[in-house]
Amino acid sequence: MQKKTIVIDPVTRIEGHAKITIDISEEGVVEDAKIHVTQYRGFEKFCEGRPYTEMPALTARTCGICPVSHVVSATKAIDEILGVTPPKAGVNIRKIVNLAQMLQSHTLNFYHLSSPDFIYGFDAPKEDRNIFKMMQTHPQMARDGINLRAFGQKIIEDLAGKRIHPTGIIPGGASHKIEESTKEAILEQVPAMLKIAHSALEFFRDNLHKFQEEIDYLGAFPSLFMAITNDEGTLEHYDGKLCFMDSEGNILKDKIEPRDYKEFIGEAVEDFSYLKSPYYKPLGYPQGMYRVGALARVNIAKTCGTPLADKELIKFKALNDGKPVLNTFYYHYARLIEMIYAIEKIEELLKCDETMSDNVRSTSTVSYERGVGCSEAPRGTLFHEYHVTKDGIITGVNLIIATGNNNLAMNAGVKQVAQRFVDPKNITDGALNRVEAVIRCFDPCLSCSTHALGIVSSKVEIRDHNKKIIKVFERS
Amino acid sequence: MRVIIGYGNELRGEDAFGVDTIKKLQKLSLKNTKLLSLHQLTPEIVLQLLDANEIIFIDASYDEKNHYALACPLTEQDNLNLSHHISPKTIIYMLNNLYKNMPKFLIYSMMSRSFDTIEDTLRYQECVDAVALYLSLEGQKIDF
């Protein structure tokens, strides 16, 4: 058989633009598969020369779905440069906004991007695997998704000024205190939102038995996991130390100060993608592959620290007898637990008296030449590192975007699922959907902030070993 | 009630057309009209449209040949592969199917070939003024 390459370009129902290639050997089997991130951003370069004060607003433009994470990591990096410790109220406001973003982001992935696969199955006609069909057959579920997202977005708007690219999270803390009426309006909605999040988790769990093959082959492999943790070992998204865990649950290294991340994380570059390939330095490249995001966080956390999420975490950890859950498909499960956690934690933080204090910001001037800000974005650990002159002009930037941490694992997942489901003699839409679905499990955020030109249609090209196209599949 | 939604990215040149038109309309104190200025259309926006009987979307649309023409493109750049923003078509579909609200809807677009800069400030502003004035006059005619 002639050597071929199958190209899925672009990958659909993810944030951003990517393509997948599947190489078929002369023996007619899947030899390799890769995800190629095809957009180039250049933030690290064009931020040079800007005043440090612009960094939260500039880097927020990296994305339209998780700008809060960039604002949080940027302001934390600047906090270090200024040598300030934000007051408790400022920190709690940041935490609430960060959790609200995680809630709306996870909601978007579950209801709008992934639920069509869960409802209709991976082999359903592609005309049915979309949000329009879901609105017809599961209208209440669709309304639930809208309400949950609106809840998260409204919190971001009320506490940080804008739903997208908010301006209220600033170096030293937050720009304004939470009004009592805002607090009451949020708390009033908490019971209804918890009910929605629970019903989503129950729906997912009730349908898991239909997806045993996907659970077993959509990126099920041993890897390291990385997340930030606090001193209590509870689920943490805002502050803490870095922790690396292996696939058996052994802690390889913990209590790593985020500012020392370069001692443990290397950044490799491959010629087939603009996305960097970070790895755990002590194990080398590519053996140091690790996963981040919801699955890593709930694997590493001993507890969530909130009652309802903790009940769910116990059930989750039982999936692999207390050892880390290795199946990438369970990222969906982990995100649903985090949704419950986020609502509970927002309630807890709002009810904390210190959160409502007038003292929300500390101020200072440039005190240090380097600052590192690290937080847990919806998709994983996010690093912002800035270098400045004594006048506060940026001279160097290094970003490790949450999704980038998963680059090696995403490629391993694509290869595994392609080898399992893609039959080169009979390439089905269901098989190609599964190849995309493993990427969707990671919920990668590859996107720029707004409108991208061009229609996101999915095209699969089969090419021979000379890159000559011999067959094209149009998938939308 | 009439709802006018202007959406786009103010940092992306003429993509700001919808947002700039809303700014102009805000100075005109239109009756029975809710004005929404958005970065992009997202699913939860429908909750702000439940009592609308007419929805007007204002946006810039990419077109190499008809720069600064005011029109509504008949071929919508839309598909079923949703990511983080959605189209007017999806918004209306959500209202119809999830909330049984069947508003009349219109799309006002300015054709643009530049989402990097505003190429001709004068002509761009003329487009903003023309749409704002038209919607203002139309609003006076209709009893909502």
Over residues A182-186, mean pLDDT = 98
Sheet holding A290-291, edge to edge: A251-256, A241-245, A224-229, A290-291
Interface contact flag, B79 A112, Cβ < 8 Å = no
> pLDDT at residue A3 above 80?
no
* CB-based contact, A395 to chain B, within 8 Å: no
Residue A352: which residues within 8 A CB-CB, separation 6 or more? A92
Of the candidates B15, B42, B80, the beta carbon closest to that of A132 is on B80
> pLDDT at residue B34 above 80?
yes
In terms of CA atoms, which chain B residue is nearest residue A454? B77
- pLDDT digits 0-9 by tens, A404-447: 899 999 999 999 999 999 888 888 888 888 888 888 898 877 65
Of the candidates A135, A163, A453, the beta carbon closest to that of B98 is on A135
> pLDDT at residue A125 above 90?
no
Size of interface A-B (CB pairs under 8 A): 96
Could you tell me the pLDDT band of residue A328, with boundaries at 50, 70 and 90? very high
Residue B141: which residues within 8 A CB-CB, separation 6 or more? none
**3-state helix vs strand vs coil in chain A, percent to 5:** 45, 20, 35
Interface contact flag, A130 B90, Cβ < 8 Å = no
Nearest CA of chain B to the CA of A101: how many Å?
13
> pLDDT at residue A459 above 50?
no
Interface contact flag, A453 B98, Cβ < 8 Å = no
Of the candidates A64, A130, A132, the beta carbon closest to that of B39 is on A64
> pLDDT at residue A317 above 60?
yes
In terms of CA atoms, which chain A residue is nearest residue B37? A162
In terms of CA atoms, which chain A residue is nearest residue B78? A455
Interface contact flag, A130 B43, Cβ < 8 Å = no
d(CA A111, CA A251): 34
Could you tell me the pLDDT band of residue A75, with boundaries at 50, 70 and 90? very high
Evaluate the omega torsion of the peptide bond into residue A286 and state whether it is cis, within 30 degrees of 0.
yes
Strands A4-9 vs A18-24: parallel, antiparallel or unpaired: antiparallel
Could you tell me the pLDDT band of residue A368, with boundaries at 50, 70 and 90? very high
> pLDDT at residue A314 above 70?
yes
> pLDDT at residue B6 above 50?
yes
Interface contact flag, A146 B77, Cβ < 8 Å = no
Nearest CA of chain A to the CA of B83: how many Å?
5
In terms of CA atoms, which chain B residue is nearest residue A11? B81
Nearest CA of chain B to the CA of A350: how many Å?
23
- Residues of B with CB below 8 A from A455's CB? 77, 79
Q: How far is CA A359 from the centre of its chain?
A: 32
In terms of CA atoms, which chain B residue is nearest residue A452? B115
> pLDDT at residue A473 above 80?
no
- pLDDT digits 0-9 by tens, A26-72: 888 888 888 887 767 788 888 999 999 999 999 988 877 788 999 99
> What is the ipTM score, two decimals?
0.84
Please give the mean pLDDT across all residues of chain B: 87
d(CA A205, CA A203): 6
All structural domains of chain B: 2-136 (3.40.50.1450)
> pLDDT at residue A254 above 80?
yes
